[in-house]
Amino acid sequence: MSSEHTLDAKALEELEKKYDSALNTRDNGPLLKKIGYWATIIFALYHIWTAGFGTPVDHVHMGIHLAGLYFFIFISFPLIRTASSLHYKGPSLAAPGNVPLYDWALIVLSITAALFLWVSWRGFTGFGLDIPEQTLRQGNPTTTDVALGTILVISTLEIARRTIGFVLPMIIMVFMIYALFGPQMPAQILRHPGVDWRQFVNNMYFPSEGIFGITLWVVSTVVFHFVLFGVVAQRMGLGQFFIDNAMMLAGRYTGGPAKVSVVSSAFFGTISGSSIANTVSTGSLTIPNMKKMGYPGHFAAGVEAASSAGGQITPPIMGAASFLMAEYLEVPYTTIVIAAIVPALMHYIGVISIVHFTARRLGLTAYAKEDLPRFLAVWREGWVTIVPLIALLMVLFSGYSPNMAAFMGLMLCIIVGFCGIDKPATLIIPLGLLGFIFWKASPMSGAGFSPTIAGVLGALTLIGSLHRNKRQDFGDLLDSFHVGVQYALAVGAASAAVGIVVGVINTTGVGFRMGFMVTNGASDLSMMIAPMLDWMPIEAFSQPSLQQFISLVLIAMACILMGAGLPTTALYIMLVAVATPALSQLGVPPLATHMFVLYYGVISEITPPVCASAYAAAGIANANPFRTGMTAFTLGLGKLMVPMVFVYAPTILIVLPEYFTLGSFLQVSITCGFGIFCVGAAVAGFLLAPLRGLWRFSFLVGGVLLVAPSLGSDIAALVVMAPAIAMQVIASRAAAVPAQSA
């Protein structure tokens, strides 16, 4: 890319570091840098091994994972992030390896606290300590447990603060204060007996809830592996293959570069756990091309940010939240994927509608035919990069565990990208994988692969080994592992910290209290508003309907505010714990509840002032960051409206048999899609001809009414929009006549 607006790879890497705190780390001394690098490789290999060959018991595995987080974060992230603290100033006794002595002390203490449960599970005697086995200490922690548990709580809050900022630790500290000072709460509804520090540490430290609860378990056994898979798959060539196919699919149409951004980001979002990584990877190509074709810089950047943030709701991985959702709801993973298909599609309909109509309004064209990739060339070079994704999805949808699916995907990424017959020494990896596959298919492995699955996986392994495309060096693979671990640090730290919130909610029942407060507040507001609207004979304006709608709006606003700046996985965990009790009191089905909080949490990624992916896109486009954020938010209006449909018409989720009928599904999904399409036209100010004034407003209102899942609102929408549609047809024909005569 030779354009003066295009950033080179190094500039893009620096931009990603600037906006993704997981990569903006301090320079360590030469020796510590090597130790840290190889430690990340070992950490990645440990997780890959356990995914395939069995995970240790929970307190051992989570302890190892947490110890790794402490080590990597405390050596990489300074206490206060400044240019001076990030820069290596040479050898120093006060800061060996550019890590101050107090951070080394934190490393030792926190790793000791993380691994102590492993050491003392069956009891521990030594160093002047006589610790009984864990089952005898549950509910009655020893002084050593309290001391190490206190260190664990403080260290966990600190690694969350260092990786993602103050917001999450402050929220968690509010919950901690609530747990400790329950009797002193000012509102009667919030008061509870409270817990002392000893009992609080007991709940946070011992497995089953708190830091060593389900959140850290899922992150350490599933989420980490899929973050790693996304990075390795992208660097192996799958990301470029997605972009090339998006160019072929969308580049030939009006406003081609922007549509390529939407389609490529949707593809990339299927494997990426980071919207910032998605933005930088695809935006480095699409944003400069959009600007060259005539899109304003802030719009080009907003399109990329909104599309990339959509990856967090796009099946099958959904920023790894899908696996947590399946765990929480105790349903098959495939249920979550099927439920998420139509809602994700609605988001992209909204983005691509605004993109299309804006291109029509600005008179922008498609890519020239000679600028588009050739189908045969793209697939001849890139077909093999989808082999790992096929293996991952096949194992996942066949009912095997997510970490086994990630193991197969990662191993095939390694084989496809880095092993081949031209490097004979590397063939030991595919041979080893073939042995593993057929061992898993044998009776000795217990509940292993079926013969069909084993046969297909064996064939994919052979195909990946024998293809003639160029392989990368193993140094590139190790770098991928290193970057994958870096991406996983913030997710792991935030998820461990959010475990404290989950523990407090389980201990105090504050979630149900907050739910009661929301519904009570909504009831008061609805009783004020309903008399003003009772002259309209419409059920939607009755007091109970208004109360439900106001409750949903309040919960949605809380989700957007609380989700600001958090990784998808962490925000989902926290919002589920806080917001679902309120939604449950409204009678919302559990699956719809979880999808609702996930969608509104993810909207925070494109909502100013905290919208890192929009700011990263603005950096590529040299555009105003805040204006870019507002544009991205506007482009994501589909994502803003669709969650309400989950609540009022759960049929759109397909998998809830008590709500689903084919007729209701088609009616709701088709009218919702058309409604978002109409809202897109209103936002862009164009349909068949420019939309202005009252006509534009009528399209906006009509679009919202179409999204609302009822036959009455659909009819009202047609009545509202009919005059505007007629005017559009007249204006379009009038514009066509001069063009034909010319």
Structure tokens at 2: 């030779």
pLDDT of residue 448: 78
What pLDDT, on a 0 to 100 scale, did the predictor assign at position 21? 61
Confidence class of residue 1 from pLDDT cuts 50, 70 and 90?
very low
- pLDDT tens digits, 350-374: 888 888 888 888 877 777 777 788 8
CA distance 87 to 440: 49
Lowest mean pLDDT: which of 10-19, 60-69, 213-222, 595-604? 10-19
pLDDT range class, residue 540, cuts 50, 70, 90: low
Q: Which residue has the higher pLDDT, 238 or 410?
A: 410
pTM beyond 0.75: the answer is yes
- Looking at 178-182, 186-190, 413-417, which range is the least confident one? 186-190
Residue 471: the pLDDT is 80
Inform me whether the pLDDT recorded for 160 exceeds 80. yes
Task: List pLDDT tens digits, range 630-646.
Answer: 888 888 877 788 888 88
Query: What percentage of residues in the chain have a pLDDT greater than 70?
Result: 92
How far is 595 from 576, CA to CA, in rounded Å?
Answer: 10
**Confidence at residue 262, expressed as pLDDT on a 0 to 100 scale:** 80
- Residue 112 confidence class, pLDDT cut points 50, 70, 90: very high
Mean pLDDT of the chain: 83
Mean pLDDT of 85-109: 89
| Nearest to 493, CA basis, from 99, 230, 81, 211 | 211
Structure tokens at 565: 């700046």
Position with higher pLDDT, 13 vs 137: 137
Give the DSSP letter of residue 399. T
Q: For 179-189, what is the mean pLDDT?
A: 82
- Residue 60, pLDDT score: 93
Q: Report pLDDT for 100.
A: 92
For residue 3, the model assigns a pLDDT of 40
Pairing of strands 124-126, 129-131: antiparallel
Give the pLDDT confidence score for residue 425 in this predicted structure: 84
Burial bucket for residue 83 (CB in 10 Å: 0-12, 13-18, 19+)? exposed
Top-ranked range on mean pLDDT: pick from 80-84, 107-111, 332-336: 107-111
Mean pLDDT, residues 137-157 taken together: 91
Instruction: Tell me what the mean pLDDT of segment 448-471 comes to.
Output: 86
496 pLDDT higher than 80: yes
Q: Name the phi and psi angles at 23, rounded to 5.
A: -110, -10
Task: Return the residue matching tokens 């409206």.
Answer: 641
- Which of 440, 458, 481 shows the shortest CA–CA distance to 224? 481
* For the chain, percent of residues with pLDDT exceeding 90: 18
Tens digit of pLDDT for each residue in 8-25?
555 656 666 666 666 678
Residues 6+ apart with CB under 8 A from 4: none
Give pLDDT tens digits for 390-421.
Answer: 998 888 888 888 889 889 999 999 998 888 78
- Give 227-237 pLDDT, tens digit per residue: 888 888 888 88
Of residues 366 and 461, more confidence is placed in: 461
Contact, 391 vs 399, CB < 8 A? no
Question: Around 566, how many Cα atoms within 13 Å sit in the side-chain half-sphere?
Answer: 34
More confident residue, 254 or 653: 653
Q: Which two tokens stand for residue 278?
A: 């998605």
Of 253-267, 494-508, 509-523, give the range with the top mean pLDDT: 494-508
Whether the CB-CB separation of 639 and 349 falls below 8 Å is answered with: no
Residue 690's beta-bridge partner residues?
A: 686
Among 242-256, 270-284, 545-559, 711-725, which is the least confidently predicted range?
A: 270-284
Q: How many CB atoms lie within 10 A of CB 521?
A: 14
Task: Report the pLDDT value the prediction gives residue 67, as an integer from 0 to 100.
Answer: 96
Residue 399 amino acid letter: G
Sign of CA dihedral 448, 452, 457, 459: positive
Which pLDDT belongs to residue 513? 76
Give the C-alpha separation, 130 to 132, whole Å: 7
Lowest mean pLDDT among 62-66, 317-321, 731-735: 317-321
Tokens of 436: 């593993």
Query: Residue 48: which pLDDT band, with cuts at 50, 70 and 90?
Result: very high
Residue-by-residue DSSP string for 697-726? HHHHHHHHHHHSSSHHHHHHHHHHHHHHHH
Would you state the pLDDT for residue 2?
A: 38
> What are the pLDDT digits (tens) for 653-712?
999 888 889 988 999 999 999 999 999 888 888 888 888 888 889 988 888 888 888 888
- Rounded Cα–Cα distance for residues 79 and 105 (Å): 13
